[in-house]
């Protein structure tokens, strides 16, 4: 049986049936355009036989587009009503029973995923997008690549290069795991209700080799947080709180790492921050 997609009329009917009023808090702007969900799946290079984890499936429009490729899905949904209905919707649209597993949980709190997925696909609201992505990258090392739809401001920050206006702590922390790039714009008109902000697609691939162990990651992230806590401060001042306690001690560690004490956090790459963390023990 061929998997079919949700249409705008059915999405509205499902929302009414479940008494779901789209809320800003949960980011419930449902995608009602079949071409858009197929585009997301195409850009994410989802292939038959792959296991995908989808965060925030909502009523299932993107879920069905993933399943249409022949991939299987582990769907993580925080809204109990939506989680309970998703399998029924999938079955009605031709999805084999063993192709979809629904996890009724908060994505920020889960530490294991059925099916050991290797691809992440998500449509994430503004307030949790970065924490969810970083939690999944940290917790599930088998995730090799992914495509996420987020508000433009979030996407631009995740993919920002050093020195750009929006480069910040989320940019560096995401880069710890591998490269992130903007992968397309999403029209406001494909959502119901129509949001008042723009959305983008962001694609990522995990590096073949990790930059370091968990201890080094935590140390690096503490340094990143300190560097961006007060933007435009020289590193010898901004990092003194985590590098010895004084500007002089911070300068010595920075010089040992090959980083100018007068540089600013927004100029540094993730590898610069890693060298600083390593120099702490030197």
Q: Of the candidates 105, 96, 108, 100, which has an alpha carbon nearest to the alpha carbon of residue 62?
A: 100
Please tell me the distance from the alpha carbon of residue 23 to that of residue 58, in angstroms, as a whole number.
12
User: For residue 213, how many C-alpha atoms fall within 13 Å in the half-sphere facing its CB?
Assistant: 2
Output the DSSP codes for 47-58. -TT-EEEEE--T
Q: What is the helix (H) or strand (E) element at residue 205, kind and residue range?
A: strand 199-205
Residue numbers belonging to the annotated binding site: 29, 31, 56, 77, 106, 123
Q: Tell me the three state secondary structure of residue 59.
A: coil
Pairing of strands 100-104, 119-123: unpaired
Residue numbers belonging to the annotated binding site for S-adenosyl-L-methionine: 29, 31, 56, 77, 106, 123
| Residues 276, 216 contacting (CB under 8 angstroms) | no
Q: Tell me the three state secondary structure of residue 22.
A: coil
């Amino acid at each position: 049986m061929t998997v079919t997609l949700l249409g705008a009329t059915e999405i509205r009917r499902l929302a009414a049936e479940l008494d779901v009023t789209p809320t800003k808090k949960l980011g419930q702007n449902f995608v009602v355009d079949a071409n858009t969900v197929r585009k997301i799946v195409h850009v994410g290079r989802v292939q038959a036989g792959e296991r995908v984890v989808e965060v925030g499936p909502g009523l299932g429009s993107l879920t069905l587009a993933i399943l249409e490729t022949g991939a299987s899905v582990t769907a993580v949904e925080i809204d109990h009503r939506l989680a309970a209905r998703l399998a029924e919707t999938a079955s009605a649209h031709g999805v084999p029973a063993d192709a979809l597993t629904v996890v009724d949980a908060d994505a920020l709190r889960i530490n294991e995923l059925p099916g050991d997925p290797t691809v992440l696909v998500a449509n994430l609201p503004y307030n949790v997008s970065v924490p969810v992505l970083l939690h999944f990258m940290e917790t599930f090392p088998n995730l090799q690549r992914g495509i996420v739809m987020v508000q433009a401001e979030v996407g631009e920050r995740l993919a920002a290069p050093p020195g750009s206006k929006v480069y910040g702590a989320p940019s560096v922390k995401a880069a710890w795991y591998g490269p992130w790039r903007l992968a397309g714009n999403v029209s406001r008109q494909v959502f119901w209700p129509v949001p008042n902000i723009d959305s983008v697609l962001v694609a990522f691939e995990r590096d073949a080799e990790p930059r370091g162990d968990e201890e080094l990651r935590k140390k690096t992230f503490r340094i990143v947080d300190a560097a961006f806590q007060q933007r435009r401060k020289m590193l010898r001042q901004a990092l003194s709180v985590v590098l010895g306690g004084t500007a002089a001690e911070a300068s010595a560690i920075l010089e040992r790492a090959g980083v100018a004490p007068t540089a600013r956090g927004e100029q540094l790459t993730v590898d610069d921050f890693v060298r600083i963390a390593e120099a702490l023990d030197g």
